[in-house]
Structure 1
Amino acid sequence: MYDRMQELTTAQMEKIHDAAMDLLKNTGVAFNDKEAVEIFKSNGFKVEGTKVFFEESQIQKALKTAPKRFTVHARNPEKNVEIGEDDFVFLPGYGAPFVMDARGNQRQATMEDYDNFCKLIQTSPYIDMNGWMMVEPADMPHETVHLDLNLSNMLLCDKPFMGSPTSRQGAIDGIEMAGILWGGKENIKDKTVSVSLINSLSPLQFSEEMAGSLIELARYNQACVVASLIMAGGSGPVTLAGVIALQNAEILAGLTLAQLVRPGVPIIYGSTSSAMDMKTGALSIGAPELSKNIHMVAQMARFYNLPSRAGGGLTDAMAMDAQAGVESALALETAARSGIHFILHACGILGSYIAMSFEKFMVDEETCGLIRSMQKPLEITDESIDIDIIKQVGIGGQYLTHPKTFKLCRTEFFTPSLMARQNPDAWLKAGKKSIEMIAEDRVTKRLASYEKPEIDPEIEKALIQYVEKRKNA
């Protein structure tokens, strides 16, 4: 296969690996959680205070037990997803404190916004999993909002969902609620029902919250993305090669902790590292360096035989404009084409993670559909070529009225629902609507047509009671 993006040689990947091994052995990684440090110490790792040092043999042992592929179970079994090897999933944006409308007006996000994103995900033909904290609701208490987000994920959508790793208690609550959904926590110990995002604290640290969440989730066999988000030139080296080595060390350290807790727990190798804009000091997620890093992450994950994660429709643009379209499509297509398995932030993000946009969600969603269509292999068979038809039509003929065209005209090609294909006259008569205007109308229609998926009333009651009890504790 020929691709103009750089394919790392085995020697280059080994050099990155060796650099990470050097950092892990001689510099170490700080785990700011007492239990994490004790787990390493009890397994024979060298520990100095919060710093843990790793031998290559210890990393290799952990890699041997980490699966290359796994299933995430949904409460609707028809919507289970596979992650790894040839299978990949699209997920929505994550962690935005604001919502931005099609006109560039920004406001604080609310719980209603979160619920509406769950409804769009439920009705999406292209988004495979529900996310976590698509927006951060400003109208909910910070200490307990994770309970409400979990509840919405579980009740409003029957696709697989992401877990709540914001704190150790948040992870425990997510596990308890998943246990209610599946008839007991013992029923999820051998069944992965969530994927949670565990971020390192670059350079070379894991916070108490992230390390604690990772431990609790691993105990119950819940998958985690161990991810590094480095600003090249800020929280990491200015060279992308140095960033790749540093993030590799951080990811492997987190993976090793998870495998010590429960060998075989699914771990996804992840990163959305990118460049720091040297004029402003801000992280740029619309930069080409982000897409270059995505491409390298996919290759390093394959080097370790692991599933991979990277960002999707990411942009620095503060409005749903041409910049947003260019940057988002570049990152999303790079992730899918490079072999990323868990494509987070596929839909909705604006302004370097600062906002989610309902209208951009719709456009990004359609882009996911386009990319799925592009990724679908072309069948090269006698039937698909059908040389007899070509001979029948002959020189100068036409295929429009041929029976095979009628038979396949609705299924053979990707048909967009937002992107314009009318001629100029038809576009003018339809009101000269731009794509963000069409997307705005479509959001309203999608939400109006939403139907809550069926759930056992007793399970729903138990989930609500758990949330109320925890809030009053």
Structure 2
Amino acid sequence: MTDQSPARTGGRAARRAARAAPLADHLRPIRAGMNGGTYKPLTEEGMQRIHTAALDALEQIGLADAPPTGVAYLTAAGAIQGDDGRIRFPRALVEETIARANRSLTLHGRDPAHDLELSGNRVHYGTAGAAVHLVDAEGRNYRECGVQDLHDAARIADQLENIHFLQRPMVCRDIPDNLEMDLNSIYACCSGTKKHVGASFTDPAYVKHGLELLHMIAGGEDKWRARPFVSNSNCFVVPPMKFATESCQVMEACIEGGMPVLLLSAGMAGATAPSTVAGAIVQATAECLAGLVYVNAVKPGAPAIFGTWPFGLDLRSGAMTGGSGEQALLTAGCAQMHKFYDLPGGAAAGIADSKLPDMQAGWEQMCSNVMAGLSGLNMVYEAAGMHASLLGFCHESLILGDDLIGQALRCVRGIEVTDDTLALEEIRQVCIGGPGHYLGTEQTLSRMEADHVYPALGNRMSPKEWAEMGKPDLIEKAKARKEMILAERASARLDPATDAAIRARFNIHLSA
């Protein structure tokens, strides 16, 4: 027995070392772009009826308040401006646009390893939002957020495997000038992560400055246009059924500048959208179809994400319910409509109404994230870090969300049924003359990393071991991980020459 101990110890140590090393991509149990689509809350008849209702809304009701440039683009494409000023969309125009629109697109990262392929049921999780507060999880307080907080969020997201992209989750409340805020938001995100970034502009005139900054980061306009690593999150409509005039002008400038556009329709069910789940999806679908016609009228084939983002509402109080079951259904139903049209799409999930990363936040974030993934949503926005119905963002919650999304992605992956996974021969060997258990069998050991997702911070200790380890607290562990990430220099930081040139051209508020 003594002679055998070193061999057992060495084998265990080798297995631990192997588990600690990064897995090859083809062996990882979860990854960006896994295929969902198994959850379908809408029937085929239901989707067809939503489509028909959306076409009726566009043809009979139309959208108001298009800017003069939008009126020119849309009427040239075949839309009709009525005497009431509303733009109406003939069925044939909408159906022709759907037929020729992009079926897939690539959202590039500054590092090609982070490119996201949007098509079919490929699922990607990331951040979004415009929170005005940072959540201090330890002190249980809210304070106004600033550019450093946004940069820190980008740096943290860059190190989290299950956060696949970073759309700006916070507003830089410490920069009162809107142009400087927009430019510093882009700089803070791009200097914090090499993953794809989503950004917005508050004024059409600011787009040219943003593009100039992005050309400098990319190393030239040609390099930017070849691999645009920032997309424009564009609220081109003010529900119900009105164009947002300035946002439409921003969208036109972004399209001309080679920037992918997220067509974002964010009605509130019961306030600015119908209170029923189906009705809210009809309106969001109609608005985004109008946006799709608009984009293709500006530039046929321009990359656009079908961003149906209807939100839930607590009709007792008028408060947003981003963490409700209704929200999860809204998002999953929208994802099905994206597949109905075979268009790259995105919607919101993972929002917590809870003010802190607590048990309520956990059930709210997991419910909609799992349903969004199972429904095959291409881009799951706001999937981590968002609290208080999008009013607060929490760095610790972003880190905990990485674990949560890992479990959601394992659900997305589903159950593979093959001769190997059916394990009949393994059952035979264990039960007939074998040890009577599967601990340590060749298949168990060989598949323990490829089949199973292990939480980085989640606690699976026994109560006895937990007590012996000092009763570790989940929030404290997330805080320690945050401090460890932020203690290191950002791997996505810009090279000194580029950074100096940017600082000479623009008023960058982050310290060098």
User: Scaled by the length of structure 2, what TM-score is found?
Assistant: 0.85
- C-alpha displacement at 1:110, in angstroms? 1.6
The CA distance in 2 between the partners of 1:41 and 1:261, in whole Å, is 11
Amino acid at match of 1:216: A
Residues 231-270 of structure 1 mapped to structure 2, 5 A cutoff: 231-270=268-307
- In structure 1, the gaps of 5 or more residues are none
Structure 2 counterpart of 1:281: 318
Q: Does 1:81 align with 2:116?
A: yes
CA contact (8 A) 1:120 1:446 kept: yes
SS at match of 2:352: coil
Between 405-414 and 123-132, report the one with greater CA deviation: 405-414
Using the alignment, how far apart are the partners of 2:312 and 2:114 within structure 1?
36
Question: 2:388 aligned to 345, 351, 362, which one?
Answer: 351
Which of 15, 18, 32 lines up with 2:49 in the alignment? 15
* Deviations 1:109-163 (CA, angstroms, capped at 9, x unpaired): 121111110110111111111222x211221124211111111222221112113
User: 395, 401, 411: which one pairs with 1:374?
Assistant: 411
Q: Which residue does 2:267 correspond to in 1? A: 230
Bigger mean CA deviation after superposition, 333-342 or 362-371: 362-371
- Residues 462 and 74 of structure 1: CA distance in aligned 2, closer, same or farther (over 3 Å): farther
Letter in 2 for 1:369: G
Match of 1:60, as an amino acid? E
Question: Which residue type is aligned with residue 429 of structure 2?
Answer: Q
Distance 1:5 1:356, change over 3 A: same
Equivalences for residues 302-451 of structure 1 within 5 A: 302-385=339-422, 387-395=424-432, 397-451=436-490
Count residues with an aligned counterpart: 468
- Residue aligned with 2:289, SS: helix
**Which piece of structure 1 moves more, 369-378 or 342-351?**
369-378
The sequence identity of aligned pairs, in percent, is: 24
CA contact (8 A) 2:125 2:383 kept: yes
What secondary structure sits across from 1:221 in the alignment?
Answer: coil
With over 3 angstroms needed to count, the CA separation of the structure-2 counterparts of 1:292 and 1:75, relative to structure 1, is same
- Residue aligning to 2:132: 97
1:299 counterpart residue number: 336
Shift of 1:408: 4.2
Q: How does 1:211-226 map to 2 (within 5 A)?
A: 211-226=248-263
CA-to-aligned-CA distance 1:58-97 (integer Å, 9 cap, x gap) = 1122222321211122221222221121322211132000
Q: In 1, are the aligned partners of 2:347 and 2:381 still within 8 Å (CA)?
A: yes
Contact 2:158-2:195 at 8 Å conserved across structures: yes
Corresponding residue for 2:74?
Answer: 40
Q: What is the Cα deviation at residue 38 of structure 1?
A: 2.3
Q: Aligned partners of 1:176 and 1:407: how far apart in 2? A: 51
Q: Any conservation in 2 of the 1:194–1:223 contact (CA below 8 Å)?
A: yes
1:38-71 alpha-carbon deviations (Å, 9 max, x no partner): 2223334322475211111111222223212111
* CA-CA distance at 1:192 after TM superposition: 4.0
Deviations for 1:303-323, whole angstroms, at most 9, x for unmatched residues?
Answer: 111112111211211222221
Structure 2 distance, partners of 1:80, 1:467, is 28
| Structure 2 counterpart of 1:208 | 245
Question: What SS does the corresponding residue of 2:87 show, helix, strand or coil?
Answer: strand
1:12 match: secondary structure: helix
Gap change, CA 1:279 and 1:383, over 3 Å in 2: closer
Give, in whole Å, the separation in 1 of the partners of 2:85 and 2:211.
27
Q: Which residue of 2 aligns with 1:150?
A: 186
Change beyond 3 A, Cα 1:209–1:104: farther
Distance 1:142 1:464 in 2: 17
Change (3 A) 1:411 1:241: closer
1:21 positional shift: 1.9
Give the deviation of 1:234 after TM superposition.
Answer: 1.1
| Aligned partner of 2:212 among 167, 176, 181 | 176
* 3-state SS in 2 of match to 1:339: coil
CA deviations 1:358-379 (Å, max 9, x no partner) are: 1211111211111222223544
Deviation by residue 1:5-51 (Cα, 9 ceiling, x = unmatched): 62322x33232222222222222212342221222233343224752
Matched, 1:167 2:206: no
Query: Alpha-carbon deviations, 1:248-267, whole Å to 9, x = none?
Result: 11111111111111111122
| Deviation, structure 1 residue 383 | 4.0
Task: Give a deviation string over 1:229-256, Cα, whole Å, max 9, x none.
Answer: 2222211222222222211111111111
- Spell out the pairing of 1:103-114 with structure 2 (5 A cutoff): 103-114=139-150
Cα deviation per residue 1:358-406 (whole Å; 9 max; x = unaligned)?
1211111211111222223544444444544433322552332335544
CA contact (8 A) 2:218 2:224 kept: yes
Q: Does the aligned pair in 2 maintain the 1:165–1:214 contact within 8 Å?
A: no
The structure-2 alpha-carbon separation of the partners of 1:191 and 1:259, relative to structure 1 and needing over 3 Å to count, comes to farther
Q: Mind listing any 5+ residue stretches in structure 2 that lack a counterpart? A: 1-35
Shift of 1:459: 3.1
Give the deviation of 1:429 after TM superposition: 2.2
Secondary structure of 1:29's counterpart equals: coil
Indicate the SS of the match to 1:196.
Answer: strand
| Alignment partners' CA distance in 1, 2:66 and 2:501 | 35
1:455 and 1:233 map into 2 onto residues whose CA distance is: 45
Aligned twin of 1:197: 233
Does the residue aligned with 1:130 lie in a helix, a strand or coil? strand
| CA-based RMSD | 2.5
State the 1:424 CA deviation. 0.5
TM-score calculated relative to the size of structure 1: 0.91
Q: Does residue 504 of structure 2 align to residue 465 of structure 1?
A: yes
- Residue 26 in structure 1 maps to residue 60 in structure 2: yes
Q: C-alpha distance in 2, partners of 1:375/1:226?
A: 25
What code does the residue aligned with 2:72 have? E
SS at match of 1:242: helix
C-alpha distance in 2 between matches for 1:63 and 1:418: 44
Larger mean Cα displacement after TM superposition, 436-445 or 341-350 = 436-445
Is the CA contact 1:275–1:283 (under 8 Å) kept in the aligned structure 2?
A: yes
Equivalents in 2 of 1:465, 1:376: separation in Å? 48
